[in-house]
Amino acid sequence: MVEEWEKLDSESLADYRIFQARQDTRRSPRTGHVHRFYVLESPDWVNVIPLTPDDKVVMVHQFRHGREAITLEIPGGIVDAEDGSPAETARRELLEETGYVADQMVHIGTVDPNPAFLDNCCYTYLALGARQIQTPQFDGAEDIAIEEIPLTDIPELIRTGRISHALVVAAFYHHKNYTSGNQ
């Protein structure tokens, strides 16, 4: 049986605005040996699947610096403390990135992006009745193009790698499970 590892020490290493790095020193319960682990502390994230009344998903194209490529994703972002809840963040990000609002915001799943070295989670919301009410309000580091894509096209876009962001793929997995259970 796997046991939790005793934490002997934890040291903050750096602050990079969107995450902080720390080093934890822990003892293996199996061997008794001491090991160092590096953890990125990050606020929680949200992803939003905005679904229009005619079953189109409001998608965003944006340049991603990590992959140095333009990706096809759903709206999302960091849960800010002033938002009060992940649901409020989902509403805010949807409006800022797309100019859309939704009649209903439903939490359909949560994942740990990478628990090996990240301490946060990512909430997925389904935004039902999504409709555009204003132009997007990008922050200074965003450059986004919006596209409505039929929901029926999403599996093929994932299969072909056009949608490749792991958290977006996970969001559509949550959507499939949610809709299978609500029919």
Q: What CATH number does residue 82 fall under? A: 3.90.79.10
pLDDT at 183: 52
Yes or no: say if 86 and 46 are a contact pair by the CB < 8 Å rule: yes
Is 130 found in the same domain as 99?
Answer: yes
Please give the backbone phi and psi of residue 175, each rounded to the nearest 5 degrees, phi first. -60, -45
Is 50 found in the same domain as 36?
Answer: no
Is 119 found in the same domain as 143?
Answer: yes
Q: Let me know if residue 75 belongs to a domain.
A: yes
Is 33 found in the same domain as 75?
Answer: no
- Print pLDDT tens along the chain (183 aa): 999 999 999 999 999 988 999 999 999 999 999 999 999 999 999 999 999 999 999 999 999 999 999 999 999 999 998 999 999 999 999 999 999 999 999 999 999 999 999 999 999 999 999 999 999 988 778 899 999 999 999 999 999 999 999 999 999 999 999 999 765
In whole angstroms, how far apart are CA 144 and each of 75, 135, 138? 10, 11, 8
pLDDT at 181: 77
Q: Let me know if residue 100 belongs to a domain.
A: yes
Q: Let me know if residue 139 belongs to a domain.
A: yes
Is 99 found in the same domain as 166?
Answer: yes
| Domain extent for 113 | 45-181
In the chain, how many H helices and how many E strands? 3, 12
Contacting residues for 26 by C-beta, under 8 A, at least 6 apart:
5, 6, 7, 8, 34, 35, 37
Q: Let me know if residue 52 belongs to a domain.
A: yes
**Tokens 């309000």 belong to which residue?**
137
Residue 61 CA, distance from chain mean position:
15
Is 163 found in the same domain as 115?
Answer: yes
pLDDT at 13: 98
What SS3 state is found at 136?
coil
Is 63 found in the same domain as 142?
Answer: yes
pLDDT at 142: 81
Total structural domains in the chain? 2
Is 113 found in the same domain as 64?
Answer: yes
Yes or no: say if 54 and 152 are a contact pair by the CB < 8 Å rule: no
Is 65 found in the same domain as 24?
Answer: no
pLDDT 10s digits, 2-52: 999 999 999 999 999 889 999 999 999 999 999 999 999 999 999 999 999
Q: Let me know if residue 1 belongs to a domain.
A: no
